[in-house]
Amino acid sequence: MAGKAIFFNNIQNDNMLNLIKRAPFFIAVLDEKGRVVFFNKEAERVTGCSFQSARDKDFIETFFSQETKEPFRTYFYQKNAKKTFIEPFVCVLLVKGQPARYMEWTGLRSQTSGNERLILIGKDLTESLTRISDLLSQTLHDINNSATFIIGNMPFLREAWSDIRSILDEQSQKQDSFEIARLPYSFFKEDYPQVIEDIETGCRRMKNIVAKFKEIEGIINEQKKSSARH
């Protein structure tokens, strides 16, 4: 408990310190050089690194990949260098041997015994984003299959129309006016080919959207692999 005076000079209650240690958020305190001076239990869980092993290490160099360390450093130490409270910022945290974690970070600067401290509070979004990603992937898969099925049946509908139109034309000569799908036949025979064309065009657009999402997903997965290699 001796560390509480160093890390949180205004916390004198052991229960409050224990609450911070067991909070369901990643809490880390960095000194003026960006070194770890406090880790709570959630920070240990997310990083797989105990406070003792993380202590005095450069937080950014230790826990961020090459791709994410500079955006994090820029946001907290340049863009918001003079701010006491730092607005949320999403950035990937990566520890060697651990899966990448998508974290939403906020920060609070304070003075402790004349020294500046940066208190980082991180919310782990990984599980939520993974669930959303899985749901989106399944939805896109279903959309793609449905669009493929519809496009595959377009030739059948066009051939059927080609075969039946002559019969309907003959019928229209015998009967002055009749309706198909609540439309006069004279309008229906002009609209039907365009409707078929529009349906196929819409399905192809849906497939293109699915392909773009899959391309983005592939890029994200490749970035994860690249980060893991670092």
Question: Six-digit token pair at 33?
Answer: 């050089």
Question: Six-digit token pair at 198?
Answer: 């529009």
Please check whether residues 90 and 180 belong to one and the same domain: no
Please check whether residues 42 and 102 belong to one and the same domain: yes
pLDDT value at residue 3 = 44
How many structural domains comprise the chain? 2
Per-residue pLDDT for 205 more than 90?
Answer: yes
Per-residue pLDDT reduced to its tens digit, 130-188: 888 788 888 889 999 999 999 999 999 999 998 898 888 888 888 777 888 888 888 88
Of 124, 153, 170, the last residue of a domain is 124
pLDDT value at residue 97 = 67
pLDDT value at residue 2 = 40
Q: Residue 171: give the domain boundaries.
A: 129-229
pLDDT value at residue 13 = 59
pLDDT value at residue 18 = 81
Spatial CA neighbour of 57 closest among 91, 34, 29: 34
Please check whether residues 152 and 224 belong to one and the same domain: yes
**Segment among 114-123, 133-142, 208-217, 218-227 with least mean pLDDT:** 218-227
CATH of the domain at 102: 3.30.450.20
pLDDT value at residue 173 = 83
Please check whether residues 177 and 202 belong to one and the same domain: yes
What is the H or E stretch that residue 25 is in? none
Question: Six-digit token pair at 1?
Answer: 């408990």
Q: How many CB atoms lie within 10 A of CB 166?
A: 9
pTM of the model: 0.60
pLDDT band at 112 (very low <50, low <70, confident <90, very high): low
Of 60, 92, 124, the last residue of a domain is 124
Please check whether residues 168 and 87 belong to one and the same domain: no
Per-residue pLDDT reduced to its tens digit, 67-86: 788 888 899 988 988 899 99
Positive or negative, the CA dihedral 15, 39, 93, 59 is: positive
Per-residue pLDDT for 4 more than 70?
Answer: no
Whether residue 117 contacts residue 109, with contact meaning beta carbons closer than 8 Å, is answered with yes
Q: How many CB atoms lie within 10 A of CB 85?
A: 9
Report the Cα–Cα distance between both ends of the chain, in Å, rounded. Answer: 36
Please check whether residues 26 and 120 belong to one and the same domain: yes
Of 76, 96, 124, the last residue of a domain is 124
Q: Mean pLDDT, to the nearest integer, of 212-223?
A: 69
pLDDT band at 215 (very low <50, low <70, confident <90, very high): confident
